[in-house]
Copies of this chain bind each other. A is one copy, B any other.
């Protein structure tokens, strides 16, 4: 592989996808990097730099074909196919994520969920099969699932991750407040909601004493 691709670039590709969907809805055939950048409130340089990691998608002096760039980015992100996920921990958050529309729109479907609480399990819930946690290995053996979404308490999260890994699942979206993104066998993305809120309280507290200006990013 030629140049290392920044993680931030990958995350921004999703934004570009959204912008293109918007411009397509607006019946635009072609857009410039400037127009996309304005829509997303970023700089056009960044968009072009990000795309340059993957190839040449535009025409100099013209811009980008919305439809073509959309397809190209979908392909880069692997979103030109369907993916299936399992939610582990069917509490408030697990349930909310199971029915999150944003995932389905991208072709990512929650197929099954697991929970320790026997009262929740062994039934279908809006098309999703809910199983007891101890049946995880058994169920995942027959269901084709590539992604695990972990919303269990932090005490068991690491164990769950390694069990998922044992079932052949190589990607985890983790909501437990600890780092799962450290192994070499699993790709994990940690989403730590408490950290995000502390980030806000830090700035609320700090904004006071300094001045109304604020270091957003």
CA–CA, A205 and B14, complex, Å: 15
Determine, out of A44-52, A61-69, A115-123, A173-181, the stretch whose residues face the partner at the interface.
Answer: A173-181
User: How many residues of chain A get a CB closer than 8 Å to chain B's CBs?
Assistant: 72
Q: Are A78 and B202 in contact (CB under 8 A)?
A: yes
Is A163 in the interface zone, CB < 8 Å from B?
no
For window 87-139 of A, CB contacts with B under 8 Å fall at: 91-93, 95-97, 99-100, 102-103, 105-106, 108
Query: Do A191 and B198 form a contact, CB below 8 Å, given A102-B177, A217-B181?
Result: no
Q: Are B201 and A173 in contact (CB under 8 A)?
A: no
A193 to chain B, nearest CB (A): 6
Contact of A106 among B188, B194, B212 (CB under 8 A): B194
A50 to chain B, nearest CB (A): 13
Closest to A217 in B: B7
Q: Are B193 and A213 in contact (CB under 8 A)?
A: no
A165 to chain B, nearest CB (A): 12
A98 to chain B, nearest CB (A): 8
Residues of A within 8 A of B (CB): 1, 4, 7, 10-11, 13-15, 17-18, 40-41, 76-79, 83, 85, 91-93, 95-97, 99-100, 102-103, 105-106, 108, 146-147, 170-173, 177-179, 181-185, 187-189, 191-207, 210, 212-217
In order of increasing CB-CB distance, the 6 nearest A-B pairs are A78-B205, A96-B96, A92-B96, A78-B201, A171-B200, A14-B195
